[in-house]
Structure 1
Amino acid sequence: MESQNVRPGYLTAHQTAHLLGISLGGVRLLVHRGHLARSGGTPRQPWYAARDVAALAAKRATSKVA
């Protein structure tokens, strides 16, 4: 079970995946490709900056429209 003790302004991997509409594997792939950076947590339970996730979601939304 993933810890919910995340600092304000950060999201868990599960929350990130949900907001981006992708799987946890998709989140790992975004990190591997350099599109998203871990901002804390542990290797097994990383956190991502909410502002980075929001920017990535906006970028993905505009690229789907175009």
Structure 2
Amino acid sequence: MEYQLPPIGTLTTRLAALNSGVQPATIRDWVRRGLLTRCGGTPKRPLYRLTDVEAARTAAKPTRANQRTVKAA
């Protein structure tokens, strides 16, 4: 069940993705990488603080060795 309206100042995974302009899988990846932490909800329906989502969106993302980079022309 999706929340009708999450508590003020929090976002569901779907709403966090919409707010950040990314896919929900990216939000889950940020959690796995430690860039974003859950603040409540259930294991299947986590909630995130709006301020934490904004910080994760602007944070420098770690890169892997041999990762392809896009060169600006």
Settle same-fold status: TM greater than 0.5: yes
What number of residue pairs does the alignment pair up? Answer: 60
d(CA) in 2 for partners of 1:56, 1:29 = 11
The higher-RCO structure (CA 8 Å, 6+ apart) is: 1
TM-score normalised according to structure 2 size? 0.71
Unmatched tracts of structure 2, length 5 or more? 61-73
CA contact (8 A) 1:9 1:49 kept: yes
User: RMSD of the alignment, in Å?
Assistant: 1.6
Name the one with the larger helix percent. Answer: 1
State the one-letter code of the partner of 2:50.
A
Identity over aligned pairs, percent:
38
Larger radius of gyration between Structure 1 and Structure 2: 2
* Distance apart, 1:56 and its partner CA: 2.3
TM-score normalised according to structure 1 size? 0.77
Unmatched tracts of structure 1, length 5 or more? 61-66
